[in-house]
Amino acid sequence: MHWEQQVQYASLTDVGFRRRNNEDQYAVHLSPDRETWSRYGHLFVVADGMGGHAVGELASKIAIDTIPHIFFKHRARDAAEGLKAAIEAANAAIHGRGSQNFDFNRMGTTCAALVLTPNGAITGHVGDSRVYRIRGGRIDLLTQDHSLQWELERRGRLQPEHVILNEARHIITRSLGPEESVEVDLTGPHTIWPGDVFVLCSDGLTAHVSDEEIGILARELPPKEACRLLVHLANLRGGSDNITVIVARVGEMPSGVSIEQPAAAAPTREAASWKLLAVYWGLAGLFVAGAVLILMGRV
């Protein structure tokens, strides 16, 4: 990936239908010049606070403020090391604030971060907020949830088709803030190709929208429209939690710049159906928006 290769992105957060306040936060920091890009890359972060009322909001706000600040100041050897240090610093800051006030004791937040660098995509996360990569007809989950649901599914005690509605998804096994130290999961660098789309989201989205649906909308629609329809769809299906999503699309290489890409795979039946489904969702979006407004008027 080169500095000249543009990244189009959009982001959206929504309180949902069941919550009174929004404990989700997000941040997007694009490098302003080639030197910063070469050293750090572009940073995207989603945080889902927990603890109720202002406590969760405070925890996620500290994470969103701390991670970019430390990441772009850290003298790390590489982006992965800098991202890990930034997330650990956010954990320390949240834990420290919670220790000072009994009402804030054990407040916490999830964190999912993505860095797009010249060498590939790097993720760092704690909790059940997610990072996806969509390429052609395929969607890959680049993170693994730190939740009881994920553990039950991994051990074969919970079937994938039962995941969305299972209560185990609410139980988080790792988060920023409650403990003095935290283990940060890093993945990458993952390859980046022109046309790749990355999605970061809180569990308010994945509680109601499947991976396939996320992939279809993010791949086939402009980032702004994809964010809007994903949030509408989650709300239409109950909106049980705050919903936050970032969609980032990697642009084509500029004229005169070439990179080696993998050989094009033959279209699969699944991939061929994406465009048809995307057209359906695009048309259905108008009806979804109207239905959401009607439902909001009844709450």
Residue 108 sits at the vertex; the CA angle it makes with 243 and 83, to the nearest 5 degrees, is 85
Considering only 113-122, 144-153, 203-212, 287-296, which range has the smallest mean pLDDT? 287-296
Instruction: Report d(CA 35, CA 47) in Å as an integer.
Output: 28
> How do residues 251-260 score in pLDDT, each as one tens digit?
875 554 444 4
Give the pLDDT of residue 265.
Answer: 43
Task: Look at residues 13, 220, 189 and name the one whose alpha carbon lies nearest to residue 117.
Answer: 189
Give the pLDDT of residue 105.
Answer: 78
The better pLDDT of the pair 7, 105 is held by 7
Give the pLDDT of residue 288.
Answer: 52
The better pLDDT of the pair 219, 166 is held by 219
Long-range CB contact pairs, 289-296, < 8 A, 24+? 289/232, 291/236, 292/232, 292/235, 292/236, 295/17, 295/235, 295/236, 296/17
The separation between the first and the last C-alpha atoms of the chain, rounded to the nearest angstrom, is 47
CATH of 7-255+268-298 among 1.10.10.10, 3.40.50.720, 3.40.920.10, 3.60.40.10 = 3.60.40.10
Q: How many CB atoms lie within 10 A of CB 211?
A: 16
In the predicted model, what is the mean pLDDT of residues 10-33? 92
Residues making up the chain, counted from first to last: 299
In the predicted model, what is the mean pLDDT of residues 158-166? 52
293 has a pLDDT exceeding 80:
no
Q: In the beta sheet, which residues pair with residue 209?
A: none
Residues with Cβ within 8 Å of residue 166, at least 6 apart in sequence = 149, 152, 158
Give the pLDDT of residue 2.
Answer: 56
71 has a pLDDT exceeding 70:
yes
40 has a pLDDT exceeding 70:
yes
231 has a pLDDT exceeding 60:
yes
In the predicted model, what is the mean pLDDT of residues 114-119? 94
284 has a pLDDT exceeding 70:
no
Considering only 41-55, 120-134, 233-247, which range has the smallest mean pLDDT? 41-55
Instruction: Report d(CA 229, CA 215) in Å as an integer.
Output: 12
Give the pLDDT of residue 155.
Answer: 64
pLDDT band, residue 39 (cuts 50/70/90): confident
Residue at token pair 């308010």: 204
Give the pLDDT of residue 4.
Answer: 57
Record the pTM.
0.82
Residue type, 267: P
Mean per-residue pLDDT of the chain: 82
Give the pLDDT of residue 64.
Answer: 98
Task: Look at residues 202, 192, 258, 256 and name the one whose alpha carbon lies nearest to residue 231.
Answer: 202
Q: How many helices (H) and strands (E) does the chain have?
A: 8, 11
**H/E stretch holding 225:** helix 223-236
Give the pLDDT of residue 20.
Answer: 83
